[in-house]
């Protein structure tokens, strides 16, 4: 077992689960952070993992009181989307030190934190998709998504965020797990698993942020028309002569749907 040393330096780093597969995951960020104090009694501890894109990556998460042998909470979870969450069935005892661990076939890590005496106060950090483009490109044809998400507020702790993407009828086709922060503007580019035989006409992204108690705050759904910049795909429906104008319109005229 190794002690996991993490810092806020990971803010804005992407863990893309929409593309290739990494067989083994490594915990690289935790909520609560290592050695945190005053942690809410209703906390739902979690790790972010560096692996992504596989069908299934299992890790066993365990929470115990420091120095105790009785397990407070334990679960074997699939972390293929880059996130492993543990949900205790009862409030944690106040003013106690706790140890959260992650066990895999070839890796293990743990962090400790100390509870306070209060419940979670929602940070209320709202994610907004500021720009979005979805483009078919050559070599071989692939659908590349470029997005920028901003988080409301300024200052405060780093947080777990996820970007959900897909066509309008399947907005969970892939998940991008990231470390966000209030006031941060964060950009990423990734490839969809779609091929030309299942080319969508539009593509959407919705971001969400995670509170300490495990609740998610959803941002608006943002969609754009898919553009075809490849020489061979013929995937999108945009007319060739209008490609440049359509791209500019797509970046400036995002279609947003309000949170339900």
- Give the pLDDT confidence score for residue 4 in this predicted structure: 47
Would you say residue 120 lies in a domain? no
- Give the pLDDT confidence score for residue 235 in this predicted structure: 63
Cα–Cα distance measured from residue 232 to residue 82, given in angstroms and rounded to the nearest whole number: 34
Structural contact between residues 51 and 25, judged by C-beta atoms closer than 8 angstroms: yes
Would you say residue 154 lies in a domain? yes
Would you say residue 79 lies in a domain? yes
- Give the pLDDT confidence score for residue 234 in this predicted structure: 57
Nearest to 36 by CA among 61, 6, 56, 57: 6
Q: Which residues of the chain have pLDDT under 70?
A: 1-25, 51-55, 230-260
- Give the pLDDT confidence score for residue 97 in this predicted structure: 98
Instruction: Please state the pTM of the whole predicted model.
Output: 0.81
- Give the pLDDT confidence score for residue 217 in this predicted structure: 97
82 torsion bin: left (phi>0), alpha (psi -120 to 50), beta (else): left
Looking at the structure, do residues 100 and 134 belong to the same domain, yes or no? no
- Give the pLDDT confidence score for residue 197 in this predicted structure: 79
* Pairing, β 227-228 against β 127-137: parallel
For position 81, which CATH number holds? Answer: 2.60.40.3780
- Give the pLDDT confidence score for residue 259 in this predicted structure: 52
Range of the domain at 214: 127-257
- Give the pLDDT confidence score for residue 5 in this predicted structure: 41
- Give the pLDDT confidence score for residue 232 in this predicted structure: 55
Looking at the structure, do residues 190 and 211 belong to the same domain, yes or no? yes
- Give the pLDDT confidence score for residue 133 in this predicted structure: 96
């Amino acid at each position: 077992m190794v002690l996991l040393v993490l810092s806020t330096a990971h803010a804005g780093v992407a863990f893309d689960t929409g593309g290739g597969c990494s067989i083994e995951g490594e915990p690289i960020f935790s909520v609560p952070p290592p050695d945190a104090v005053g942690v809410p009694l209703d906390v739902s501890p979690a790790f972010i993992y560096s692996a992504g894109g596989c069908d299934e990556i299992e890790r066993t998460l365990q929470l115990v009181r420091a120095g105790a042998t009785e397990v407070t909470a334990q679960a074997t979870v699939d972390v293929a989307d880059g996130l492993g969450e543990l949900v205790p069935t009862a409030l944690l005892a106040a003013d106690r030190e706790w140890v959260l661990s992650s066990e895999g076939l070839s890796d293990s890590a743990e962090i400790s934190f100390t509870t306070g005496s209060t419940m979670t106060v929602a940070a209320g950090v709202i994610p907004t998709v500021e720009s979005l483009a979805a483009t078919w490109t050559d070599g071989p044809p692939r659908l590349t998504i470029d997005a920028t998400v901003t988080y409301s507020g300024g200052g405060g702790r780093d947080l777990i965020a996820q970007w959900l993407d897909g066509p309008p009828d399947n907005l969970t086709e892939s998940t991008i797990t990231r470390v966000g922060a209030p006031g941060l503007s964060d950009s990423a580019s990734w490839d969809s698993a779609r091929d030309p035989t299942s080319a969508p006409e539009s593509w959407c992204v919705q971001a969400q942020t995670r509170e300490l108690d495990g609740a998610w705050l959803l941002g608006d759904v943002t969609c754009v028309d898919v553009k075809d910049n490849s020489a061979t795909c013929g995937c999108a429906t945009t007319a060739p002569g209008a490609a440049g104008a359509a791209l500019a319109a797509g970046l400036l005229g995002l279609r947003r749907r309000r949170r339900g």
